[in-house]
Amino acid sequence: MRTCSLFLILCLGVSTLLAQDYQKTSSGVKTSQGGIDLELQFITPSVVRVVKAPQGHVYTKESVSVIAKPQKVNFQTTAKDYQIILSSGSIKVCVNTQTGAITYQTSKGEILLTEKETGPKFIDFNDAGVKTYTAYQPFLLDKEEGIYGLGQLQNGKMIQRNMTKNLIQGNVEDVSPFFQSTKGYGLFWDNYSPTLFTDNESETSFRSEVADCIDYYFMYGANADGVIAQMRYLTGEVPMFPLWTYGFWQSKERYKSQEETVGVVKKYRELGVPLDGIIQDWQYWGNNYLWNAMEFKNPSFSDPQRMINEVHNMNAHMVISIWSSFGPMTKPYKEMDKRGMLFNISTWPQSGLETWPPEMDYPSGVRVYDAYNPEARNIYWKYLNEGIFQKGMDGWWMDSTEPDHLDWKPEDMDTKTFLGSFRKVRNIYPLMTVGGVYTHQRAVSNDKRVFILTRSGFVGQQRYGANVWTGDVASTWESLRNQIPAGLNFSLCGMPHWNSDIGGFFAGHYNKSWNDGSGSKNPMFQELYVRWLQFGAFTPMMRSHGTDVPREIYNFGVKGEPVYDAIEKMIKLRYSLLPYIYSTSWDVTNNQSTFMRALVMDFVDDKKVWDINDQYMFGKSLLVAPIVHPQYTPEKAVKVSEEEGWNRDSAKKVGNNTLTNFAETKTTKIYLPAGAVWYDFWTNQKQVGGQEITKETSLDAIPLFVKAGSIIPMGPDVQYATEKSWDQLELRVYTGADGSFTLYEDEFDNYNYEKGAYIEIPMKWHDSGRKLTIGDTKGSYPGMLKNRTFKVVLQDGKQKIVHYNGKKVTVSF
């Protein structure tokens, strides 16, 4: 947390400021104009902080997102023609002293972004008895400029233009007041209250309900990766996740006994289908009055230590559901209640009885805890540690981290928190509660990397070992289509770990009656599930989850049947790609890269990709084009909200009484970005970029292409991520361009890599010489392989065996 104060700048007593009327500081300048105090601060040569407040207003601004310490930046300041110009060598910042508007330029003078001259505006506001302001700042964007970000929205849009959106955390939408542009810059509006984002023909603006000041960061990265690097410098770098988190995960709402939970893992092992994780959802604590007790009080979980041990003995990992609220009979509730650390907003579950709709004559008494309070976070961890972590739990499913806020009333926002009103800090609740668990676990253990699956996120959360999922989305094709741009825009905010419930959460409309299990045999759901699973295989976490319809592979049939085989094939492909995925994870941590890459990140010069919302790069080599429209069954439009989804008795039903032949071949249209040559992953057929092609499809294969110049390591056939060492990898080389790849390995689940315990094996393909060079191994770690064999395979079928002992070797074709 960083504190910065902006103090009164004396007015010079004239209506129009001359350019020389400013104060130079060690990091920028201060000036006043039109009743507004302004301070510019260079954080890095490419990042500028802008702080504005009503003239003479004295305040303290504490940032919880920004943790970077400003660098010592050499910059030049000149005053000319009613302008103050600051030049860092990377960017120029020009302040118009007649209007106060700021213009940002490249070092060559190309305009990147301009504030609109009519802004900013401060409106007096009484926030729960505290004098403050509502703050507004408009900007001017180019008409054809594409912008991305704002968090995870469900609007299906890739480019976030021509819209008005109230940014407030919710179940299926996670918001961050940040966007980046196709012009290579980003803007982070450092405010945590509900904020109205507007983009129309006249302006692009932020208007926050509560603001002691306007506080935003302009950053120039030249491209999307550069902007993300600047954003992570400001708000935190990404730690390495354990290798097992990138395997396949099975979950449902909910396994009702420890025998059922363990039984799922056993069944996967019996079937020979790879699995790395099982997730235990709610009610292992007992009833709603014991909500989130962080203890196993449900008689069906009478021996939790044995349950965890049995899962571990099958070489699987376990994650468990924890919430941001507590029932009145729990120990955390009682301790926090005495200390005034619980809110009085309505939250889930509202009734003490497990019925729908809630029976309000029997209120649950469940209350959200004040995660803004460091002492409350200490208490939260104390019970989590004693009740669950010490038993060997591997990770946390932090649900309702928005948190759930039901039956919203205006006065709810007046609720006092440790950091001010709930209104003032509403949007950073997930950052605070997730950060609390991460920080505390790291303080007590370096042997187990923190892994948190959570429903909400805010910029900065990437530093806390958190993978955000999209909440309780509906099991519909429209919802599947929305997930792709949601994940891409979330990633473009600098938060690389993201996933969604494979198959969608609410699926009751596919059942003939509630919970009879028939939905998994409904061809309409089967097709949707397979296509969602194929998409999920190319996200940072491949996790099957939902309610109403069972999701375990054995519910969809048996081996030899098309749906079962399609599911198994994609799970196994995921495991084959683990060396590629884990090396990409290191690229994310070490080089500020991104897993799910919007096409604009790598092909910004091809304007046709700017608004493509159903294709993306997974890592820097694989072009993924999920099938997002049904090809074998009809699409029935079903709208399901979170409230309607739980009302199983009145769920709209969709049936499919027609015969479905999943063996038929279909087709789909795919655009291959210009500037590259592409190979079909399945057939190795070569295609030139810059064109739309018609691709034959089948139920069991997602359209997948590899960029020429790629080197993709393929791993062994395994049942879990660490079953076999990577001593006999297949290196697939796709010719047609020069390329490189760095294979990364470490101990897979501790923090020793932070001390240098890891290796990198650099690989380079020289296309004209048709040579692959595997360089000297860099680094070491205990137990590392000293010798290994690579099978190098070109896409045309040519292959060679290479024996590698850590020393440079060149393979010629």
Handedness of CA 597, 603, 605, 608 (dihedral sign): negative
What are the distances in angstroms from CA 494 to CA 1, 458, 537, 541? 19, 10, 21, 17
Residue 724 near residue 709 (C-beta atoms within 8 A): no
Q: Write a three-state SS string for 587-612.
A: HHHHHCCCCEEEHHHHCCCCHHHCCC
Burial (CB < 10 A; 0-12, 13-18, 19+), residue 123, is exposed
Helix axis angle for 429-444 and 374-387, nearest 10°, is 50
Does the N-terminal peptide bond of residue 349 adopt cis geometry, omega within 30 degrees of 0? yes
404 among known catalytic residues: no
Nearest one of 126, 215, 207, 139 to 167, comparing CA atoms: 207
Catalytic choice (209, 225, 399, 404): 399
CA distances from 520 to 111, 500, 524, 609 (A): 55, 19, 9, 36
Q: What share of the chain is helix, strand, coil (3-state, %, to 5)?
A: 25, 30, 45
Catalytic residue selected from 295, 370, 402, 747: 402
Provide the H-helix boundaries in 388-536.
Answer: 422-425, 429-444, 477-491, 523-536
Q: Which residues contact 357 (CB under 8 A, 6 or more apart)?
A: 647
DSSP annotation of 289: G
Q: Is 643 exposed, middle or buried (0-12, 13-18, 19+ CB in 10 A)?
A: exposed
Active site residue 402: yes
Residues 289-317 as b or e (16 or more Cβ within 10 Å = b): bbbbbbbbbbeebeebeebbebbeebbbb
* 687 secondary structure, DSSP code: E
Rg of the Cα trace of the chain? 27
CB 721 within 8 A of CB 575: yes
Fill in the DSSP letter of residue 634: P
Read off the amino acid at residue 389.
Answer: F
Spatial distance between the Cα atoms of 183 and 194, rounded to a whole number of angstroms: 27
Which positions ≥6 away from 119 have C-beta within 8 Å? Answer: 101, 136, 137, 138, 205
Of 115, 225, 472, 552, which is the active-site residue?
472
Q: Is 472 a catalytic residue?
A: yes
Residue 641: DSSP 8-state: -
Closest CA relative to residue 97, chosen from 7, 27, 22: 22
- Burial (CB count <10 Å: 0-12, 13-18, 19+), residue 756: exposed
- Strands across the sheet containing 185-189: 23-24, 28-33, 36-44, 47-54, 214-220, 185-189, 174-181, 147-152
- Gap between the Cα atoms of 410 and 307, Å rounded: 45
Catalytic sites, residue numbers: 399, 402, 472
